[in-house]
Structure 1
Amino acid sequence: MDLKQQNIDNLTSLWHLINRNAGTAVTGNVFDYGIINYSDWPNRLWFKNAPEQTNLNLAKKIISSSTTKITVPYWEINGNDYSPLLENNGFMKILEQVGMSADISKSDFIPSEVTINKVRDERTALLWESLFQKAFKYKIDHKLLLSSYDEVDYLIAYDNATPTGTALMHYSGNEVVGIHSMGIIPEMRRKGYAEKMMHSMLFEAAKKGYGYATLQASEMGKNLYLKLGFEEQFLMRNYTLSK
């Protein structure tokens, strides 16, 4: 199994799903995108094939005409490094992440005492939105959760009755689960909740028969995932167009 490609496919299929349910999905031969003006996410334009200048000109036109901030993620496509082309066309790197994966079928994850509940109604969707915004300083609108919670697991972690953080689990195919949007709210950090959440989520995924987990880690979070058995696969840079 090509886990790098599975990682990327899990991520982009999540963006597709959210955009499709919001009626904003646009697909093309070289790139896909979606713009949701009431949410800070996904709002991505991503290349499926390494772009040429004409493709990039069209992408720049779409981005420039939008009042919503659009992020362009980068990873090498078939060994083609097109990051210089992006940078020469006015794209600025805003965030760097590491694509990581783990074989969870060979690990013994133990569910922790942290309770993890799924979003199932407007009240919990609003709570998830609020907690996520506190953790990450940007907004995923609760309406996107309400339109997709039958297909995506939006999770809220609790210590007794106190919410501690959020996560999102997106299952693609029969073998891969992607862990996304995992964040602990500021006042509950440095208490081990992130590791406890990961143990519980990976335990549930393995119990369902999924063999692999993928994610995209920040530099700050990478060591936790290495500790849990994840391996680095690829570098992912996120760009915006300077206007």
Structure 2
Amino acid sequence: MDINQANIDNLTRLWKKYGVQIIDKNTQLIKNTSWPYRCWFDLPASGQNYLQLKHLDTTAIVPMWSEPENADIEEKENSNLSSQLFLTKQSSLEVELVKKGQCLFSQTAMYLAILPAVLFTIKDKIKLRKGFTVKLVTKTQELMAWVDIASKAFGYVIDQSVIESLMNDSEIRLLLAYDNDEAIATALMYKTGSIIGVHQVGVKPDVQGKGFSRLLMSELIVNCAEWQGTHVVLQASDAGKPLYDKLGFQAQFLINNYQRV
């Protein structure tokens, strides 16, 4: 399996679960109907030319990833390239977005193979913090707490109805982390085959910087293994990447998020 494509597929399939509409069938342009306001093309970067700029909504966030080098999971893990960021040419559409838009933020696509040695180390470290637990969201009150914490952690309003629609989805797990029974952090896990994407990992602002992000990610990796996942994928912010580096995640490629002006 191509681990680069697996990361993108997990991300875009999750966006579709949030609720979408097809803007243009010919160019496979898809847009979220509400939060998270993504607008993207379901076709390779090589087919995204600057003429498609006219289809882009000026209010939408347009993620662009270069067409990454194919990377078979086993081949990539056994090579010296596994710790390097794959750099490829921009599509003509992204070149035009650079000229006629603004890059709001960038992310690094990353992955981690769930190996016995990784799990052994992580499980040992989890025991260091008593009172920290991670639980599945199953009730409305828990859902409201999840949305409130995630919204504050990321600094934008998350549509509760969108998240609520995922509660009974067998491919998704909404999780709340607790410190001595106080809800303090959120996460969303999405399973596509043996690949599990970790999304919306957020910690309440008033308890950030106390090591809860690392504890939560450690628990999530263990949960992914218990859910029969073989690899974890995510898209790291600049602020979050150092943590993922320390946990053993490997960088893949960049995702630049633009807004047309």
Match of 1:119 in 2: 137
Q: Which amino acid aligns with 2:103?
A: K
Distance in 2 between the 1:213 and 1:159 partners? Answer: 24
Matches within 5 A, 1:122-137: 122-137=140-155
What is the aligned partner in structure 2 of residue 158 from structure 1? Answer: 178
1:80 Cα deviation after fit: 4.6
On the 8 A contact 1:75/1:236 being kept in 2, the answer is: yes
- In structure 2, distance between residues paired with 1:139 and 1:115: 25
Query: Which residue number in structure 2 is paired with residue 18 of structure 1?
Result: 18
Whole-angstrom distance in 1 between the partners of 2:17 and 2:115: 27
Question: 1:183 corresponds to which residue?
Answer: 202
Deviation track 1:67-90 (CA, whole Å, cap 9, x = no partner) reads: xx31000101265512212223x2
Equivalent residue number for residue 42 of structure 1: 36
CA contact (8 A) 2:16 2:32 kept: no
| Letter matched to residue 44 of structure 2 | N
- Which residue of structure 1 lines up, in the alignment, with residue 241 of structure 2? 222
Structure 2 equivalent of residue 6 of structure 1: 6
RMSD: 1.7
Rounded to whole Å, the distance in 2 between the matches of 1:157 and 1:211 is 23
Please identify runs of 4+ aligned residues in structure 1 that moved more than 4 A: none
| CA deviation after TM superposition for structure 1 residue 105, in Å | 2.8
Distance in 2 between residues matched to 1:42 and 1:118, nearest whole Å: 22
Partner Cα separation in structure 2 for residue 221 and residue 77 of structure 1: 23
Which among 30, 33, 55 is matched to residue 33 of structure 1?
Answer: 30
Q: Which residue of 1 aligns with 2:189?
A: 169
What does residue 100 of structure 1 align with?
110
Equivalent-residue separation in structure 2 for 1:30 and 1:227 (angstroms): 39
SS of aligned partner of 2:115:
helix
Shift of 1:186: 1.0
Q: What amino acid sits opposite 1:45 in the alignment?
A: C
User: Given that residues 145 and 183 in structure 2 are in contact (C-alpha distance below 8 angstroms), is that contact kept between their aligned partners in structure 1?
Assistant: no
User: By how many angstroms is 1:29 displaced?
Assistant: 4.4
- The residue that corresponds to 2:90 in the other structure is 81
Q: CA–CA distance in 2 between the matches of 1:150 and 1:80?
A: 40
**CA distance, structure 1, for counterparts of residue 54 and residue 146 of structure 2:** 37
CA distance in 1, matches of 2:105, 2:141: 32
Q: Please, which runs of 5 or more residues in structure 2 have no aligned partner?
A: 69-87
CA contact (8 A) 2:21 2:33 kept: no
Q: How many correspondences in the alignment?
A: 226
- Rounded to whole Å, the distance in 2 between the matches of 1:46 and 1:35 is 9
Structure 2 CA distance, aligned partners of 1:9 and 1:241?
A: 24
- Check conservation: 1:96, 1:238, Cα contact below 8 A: yes
SS at match of 1:12: helix
Which residue of the partner structure matches residue 226 of structure 2?
207
CA distance in 1, matches of 2:12, 2:242: 24
**Alpha carbons of structure 1 residues 205 and 29: separation in structure 2 relative to 1, 3 Å:** farther
Separation (CA, whole Å) in 2 of partners of 1:204 and 1:54: 44
1:235 equivalenced with 2:254 (yes/no): yes
> Do the aligned partners of 1:102 and 1:231 also contact (CA within 8 Å) in 2?
yes
- TM-score w.r.t. the length of structure 1 is 0.87
- Where structure 1 has 5 or more consecutive residues not aligned to the other structure, the ranges are none
CA distance in 2, matches of 1:98, 1:7: 11
Matches of 1:73 and 1:84 in 2, distance apart?
A: 13
